[in-house]
Amino acid sequence: MMNGKSINYFVAGGVLATLLYFGWNLTSRSAYESAAYSVIQSEGPFEVREYPQLLLATTEMRFASQGNDGSFGRLFSYISGANENNQQVAMTTPVFMDAASKDNPGQMGFVVPASVVANGAPVPSDGNVELRSRNGGRFAVIRFNGRLDNSTRRDAEQRLSQWTSDQGLSAGGDAESAGYDPPWTPGPWRRNEVLIRLK
């Protein structure tokens, strides 16, 4: 039979578990609007998707930094009101990331919600943030868990390229990455993707 102290611990544990549960749901990817797409083909972790045109708030980034170079902060400031209208813009998923190439610096991009686009997205106040259109089209995609870094990205891109070739599909551009979770999400529960535009 439980004594008074045991009951207090039990109640406190239940309250803590409830707070953790609701806190997780409010800060996990399920709390955010996601970019729309339709699935054309699916096989295990691989998909072929059709995306509409999206508007992104973008800034330069070093891919390996995962936002520690200030790129995430600049974009977060934009959606928090650092724009011409002092307008707060809802956070969305995924965060798109392009690794740097010989001709282009790396880029991080937040998807601007469709409702904001429909009413005219506010112009960023920070000159290092700009609004860019991401052309719609068909993409081959691989989904994987864990930390998204240069090593896991390269591995996923190789697997995706092989699958794309096996399916008789032709790549029409460089690979890009997408992350769906806040930084504090443990690796096994993180959703990451690599996407390759198809011809």
- Determine contact, residues 146/187, Cβ cutoff 8 Å: yes
CA distance 197 to 164: 11
Query: What is the model's pLDDT at position 6?
Result: 61
Q: What is the model's pLDDT at position 173?
A: 83
> Which pLDDT value is given to residue 62?
80
Q: Look up residue 81 and give its two tokens.
A: 């009101």
CATH class, range 32-198: alpha beta
- Distance (Å, whole) CA 117 – CA 104: 26
pLDDT at 187: 84
Instruction: Output the pLDDT for position 67.
Output: 57
Residue-wise pLDDT tens for the chain (199 aa)? 556 666 666 555 555 444 444 444 444 555 679 999 999 999 999 999 999 999 999 999 986 655 567 899 999 999 999 999 999 999 999 999 987 777 778 899 999 999 999 999 999 999 999 999 999 999 999 999 998 888 999 999 999 999 999 999 999 888 999 999 877 788 888 999 999 999 9
pTM: 0.80
Domain boundaries, the chain: 1-31, 32-198
Residues in the chain: 199
Measure the CA–CA gap between 108 and 193, rounded to whole angstroms.
14
| pLDDT for the residue 186 | 86
Output the pLDDT for position 99.
79
How many alpha carbons lie under 13 Å from residue 76 in its C-beta half-sphere? 7
| Preceding peptide of 113 cis, ω within 30° | no
* Phi, psi (deg, nearest 5) at residue 198: -100, 150
Question: What pLDDT, on the 0 to 100 scale, is given for residue 24?
Answer: 40
Give the pair of three-digit tokens for residue 39. Answer: 């699935």
- What is residue 4's predicted lDDT score, i.e. its pLDDT? 61
Which one, of 65, 91, 64, lies nearest residue 77 by Cα?
91
